[in-house]
């Protein structure tokens, strides 16, 4: 069988050292090179490495190939948020507390009839009416949406994500998101099952740890409001910190677990808000705020029926030790199976005892 003998191939144009230096340029801020831009393009990288005399010359297309081979994409970016909590130990403790709340949710739901619910607001949702009808997609042509629109106001969605059931429950859509609005929403939520306990995961917004929220929990516990002190002066109502401590009391039927400051990514409901934004808001065409409200509520009902499923939350607040960690199917399935196995064993033990 005939075949080509090994050959050296074309001579290398750039040394490994030069390639490394070329790839280092897009990893730097353009400001360091006195360029008034926010990110590098292949053309500007080629110009910069030539000015620095890293290479004598290099084409834009070759720079593009080098970027692709190194999986560098200067044109892309992602947003992220730093926490404002200055104490790293406290931040770590709070993160682990939220994660443990999620991991404990199935057990609490089955053993002590406790609902674990993520709560947050999706505010400023605009009711935009397009000035022209949307043109449906055709082969080779995507859907075309009119860029100009008329504003008809905004709505605020206050949502509740049931961690175990994997559903949005008792949503509120209204014109405002005042302290009174939020407290009324929570009151309606916990009243939907007055015999159960509630664990609510939410962020540190003022309305989430307000005087009205403290009064709501106090009434539910049979605590006289007069014993709570005065807002900003004494007792439980003295400060946000004292209110938060009271609302986080594990002995209450209604307990709030607060995420760390600027760490709302720990709240599972943010994922659902993203789905709502992509599926009905981004391309939406609403002639009124009432139409927007009806569409949001209709989508939530549709999502609960067709797609709702609890998240497979495996994050404990610390990095995963190995990649071989087993992931559960869903929390509810695992705990239901455990309870069923326990009942079966007790039944078998009783039967064997009777036979003896």
Per-residue pLDDT tens over the stretch 187-196? 999 999 999 9
Question: What distance in Å separates the CA atoms of residue 27 and residue 20, rounded to the nearest whole number?
Answer: 11
Do 197 and 250 sit in the same domain of this protein?
Answer: yes
Residue 354 confidence (pLDDT):
40
Residues 259 and 266 sit within 8 Å (Cβ to Cβ): yes
* 347 against 5, higher pLDDT: 5
Q: Are 61 and 113 found together in one domain?
A: no
Q: Is residue 26 part of a domain?
A: yes
Greater confidence (207 vs 323) lies with: 207
Q: DSSP per residue over 327-341, as a string?
A: PPS-HHHHHHHHHHH
Bridge-based pairing state of the strands 114-130 and 172-174:
unpaired
Structure tokens given for 314: 């495996």
**DSSP code for 348:** H
What pLDDT, on the 0 to 100 scale, is given for residue 207?
A: 94
Residue closest to 114 by CA, chosen among 294, 250, 290: 250
- Whether 92 is in a domain gets the answer yes
Residue 285 within a domain: yes
Tell me the two tokens of residue 38.
Answer: 């926010």
125 lies in the same domain as 240: yes
- The confidence score (pLDDT) of residue 167 equals 95
Decide if 254 is inside a domain. yes
Q: What is the pLDDT of residue 331?
A: 57
Q: State which residues form the domain around 28.
A: 16-69
Give the pLDDT score at 329.
58
pLDDT of residue 6: 77
Q: For every residue of 186-248, which 3-state class applies, written as one string?
A: HHHHHHCCCCCEEEEEECCCHHHHCHHHHHHHHHHHCCCHHHHCCCCCCHHHHCHHHHHHHHC
Residue 312 maps to a domain:
no
pLDDT in tens, 65-116: 999 999 999 999 988 777 788 888 888 999 999 999 999 999 999 999 999 9
pLDDT tens, 122-131? 999 999 999 9
The residue ranking higher by pLDDT, 84 or 48, is 48
Per residue in 158-167, pLDDT (tens digit) is 999 999 999 9
- DSSP structure class, residue 125: E
Question: HSE of 18 in the Cβ direction (CA atoms, 13 Å)?
Answer: 15
- Name the band, by pLDDT with cuts 50, 70 and 90, for residue 155: very high
Asked which of 30-39, 259-268, 323-332 is least confident by mean pLDDT, the reply is 323-332
- What is the pLDDT at residue 265? 86
pLDDT for the residue 235? 92
How many percent of the chain have pLDDT more than 70? 89
What is the torsional sign of CA 97, 102, 106, 110?
positive
CA dihedral 84, 88, 93, 99 (to 10 degrees): 60
* Residues 155 and 278 both lie in one domain: yes
pLDDT in tens, 285-295: 999 999 999 99
For residue 64, being part of any structural domain is answered with yes
Q: Give residue 245's pLDDT band: very low, low, confident or very high (50, 70, 90).
A: very high
Residues 65 and 172 occupy one common structural domain: no
Assigned domain for 178 exists: yes
β-partners of residue 135 are 144
pLDDT reported for residue 169: 96
- Give the pLDDT score at 247: 96
The answer to whether position 95 is within a domain reads yes
- If one counts the domains in the chain, the total is 2
Mean per-residue pLDDT for 328-342? 60
The answer to whether the CB of 267 falls within 8 A of the CB of 120 is yes
Q: For residue 1, is pLDDT > 80?
A: no
């Amino acid at each position: 069988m005939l075949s080509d003998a090994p050959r050296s191939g074309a001579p290398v144009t750039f040394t490994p050292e030069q390639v490394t230096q070329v790839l280092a340029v897009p990893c730097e801020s353009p400001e360091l090179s006195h360029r008034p831009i926010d990110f590098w393009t292949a053309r500007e990288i080629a110009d910069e490495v030539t000015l620095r005399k890293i290479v004598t010359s290099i084409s834009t297309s070759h720079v593009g190939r080098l970027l692709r081979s190194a999986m560098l994409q200067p044109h892309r970016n992602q947003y992220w948020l730093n926490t404002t909590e200055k104490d790293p130990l406290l931040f770590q403790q709070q993160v682990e507390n939220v994660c443990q709340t999620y991991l404990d949710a199935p057990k609490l739901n089955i053993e002590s009839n406790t609902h674990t619910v993520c709560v947050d607001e999706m505010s400023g949702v605009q009711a935009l009416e397009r000035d022209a009808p949307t043109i449906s997609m055709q082969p080779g042509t995507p859907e075309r949406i009119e860029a100009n629109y008329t504003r008809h106001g905004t709505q605020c969605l206050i949502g509740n994500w049931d961690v175990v059931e994997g559903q949005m429950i008792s949503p509120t859509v209204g014109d405002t998101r005042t302290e009174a609005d939020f407290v009324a929403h929570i009151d309606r939520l916990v009243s939907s099952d007055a015999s159960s306990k509630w664990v609510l995961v939410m962020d540190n917004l003022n309305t989430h740890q307000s005087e009205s929220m403290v009064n709501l929990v106090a009434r539910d516990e049979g605590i006289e409001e007069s014993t709570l002190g005065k807002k900003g002066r004494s007792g439980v109502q003295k400060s946000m910190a004292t209110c938060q401590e009271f609302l986080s009391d594990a002995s209450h039927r209604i307990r709030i677990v607060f995420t760390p400051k600027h760490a709302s990514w720990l709240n599972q409901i943010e994922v659902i808000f993203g789905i709502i934004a992509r599926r009905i808001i981004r391309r939406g065409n609403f002639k009124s705020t009432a139409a927007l409200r009806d569409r949001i509520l209709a989508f939530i009902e549709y999502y609960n029926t067709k797609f709702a499923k609890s998240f497979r939350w495996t994050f404990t607040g610390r990095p995963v030790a190995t990649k071989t960690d087993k992931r559960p199917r869903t929390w509810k399935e695992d705990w239901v199976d455990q309870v069923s196995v326990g009942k079966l064993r007790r039944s078998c033990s009783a039967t064997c005892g009777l036979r003896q």
